[in-house]
Structure 1
């Protein structure tokens, strides 16, 4: 027996209400929020990767013998570029971990490069280098913001997937928790690498400490 149109519409309305009440719509909203946040993370990471070739070339012009550090940065960027950051990556914990590891490697290599640059006053005074330095600092800050937004989006989604009664809908439709930036990178998430060369290096403790030869002799009887 075929259902009448009014009856079918009633069933559809009831089904929509059940799905909404059990978190189905919440999953859709959360999934879209994650996709949007992830796109911004990738955008900022790509912005940083695009700065690397010019940064390496500029440093190389003043410190060509720092081959190890320059090579590390170039290789770290190559590892980042080798990862296909597709939308499906956020659903694959293993692939997400590899992406995270590659980005952390580039962050570390860039930090070492900037530390080495402290030893070259002419490099620090170069206008092109200072411009790249400012761009990198701004990009690192935007990466921090984008990552934090992604973390919050995934956190909200994962809570929905794991709590009752939404978890029943999640099991029915195959929704699972998504990987997030790991706890061991929390410091990197909250603190952008230091790229300010304006302040002079602090004096070493040995240089600051007075020597015995420069101390006055004690008064007699003391």
Structure 2
């Protein structure tokens, strides 16, 4: 059986086309898995942030009983919580709102240092401990989310998978970053 050069060329082109199609499907599936990992890790951050949002009113009420005249700090915490709960849209906007809440909570805990009775209150101590535990979970969830975003970012911007990512519209969201204020330690002054 003698194949003509035209038939051989068609077979080679068909084999190459099939290999490229298999590679594109595999790359697309990798991108989808990584995008889903980013979404799942964001959901974990969201769960922990909601948990923190639920703890804040109880903490504010406890502090109010001891430091009611510190209204500005308490109002700032309540306003930051409301802003964090209402923040939607981009990861950057949500991160900024959550970072503002973190900063105001730091001021609230610094304020509590001035009230020995409050520091000894079991309800306050339990809430403070629960909030610290939640903050640790948020930090871990942020790290996990940022790792998932980095993996998707690396795949979506690597050659040649960037062609599949571009053609399918898969692009990584932003990282969940701490603001400048959160990176610096909280200053406590009396």
Give the structure-2-normalised TM-score: 0.82
CA distance in 2, matches of 1:160, 1:124: 49
| RMSD between superposed Cα atoms in Å | 2.6
CA distance in 1, matches of 2:51, 2:172: 29
The answer as to 2:84 corresponding to 1:80 is yes
The answer as to 2:41 corresponding to 1:37 is yes
Q: 3-state SS of the aligned residue for 1:42?
A: helix
Q: Which of the pair is proportionally richer in helix?
A: 2
How much has 1:72 moved relative to structure 2? 0.3
Taking the TM superposition and a 5 Å limit, the aligned residue runs for 1:120-139 are 120-139=115-134
More displaced 10-residue stretch of structure 1: 51-60 or 164-173: 164-173
The answer as to 2:24 corresponding to 1:19 is yes
Q: 3-state SS of the aligned residue for 2:74?
A: helix
Give the greater-gyration-radius structure (CA): 1
CA distance in 2, matches of 1:167, 1:52: 43
The size of the alignment, in residue pairs, is: 173
Q: 3-state SS of the aligned residue for 2:170?
A: coil
Which blocks of at least 5 consecutive residues in structure 1 are unaligned? 1-12, 90-94, 194-200, 202-222
CA distance in 2, matches of 1:50, 1:14: 53
The answer as to 2:122 corresponding to 1:118 is no
Partner of residue 70, structure 2: 66
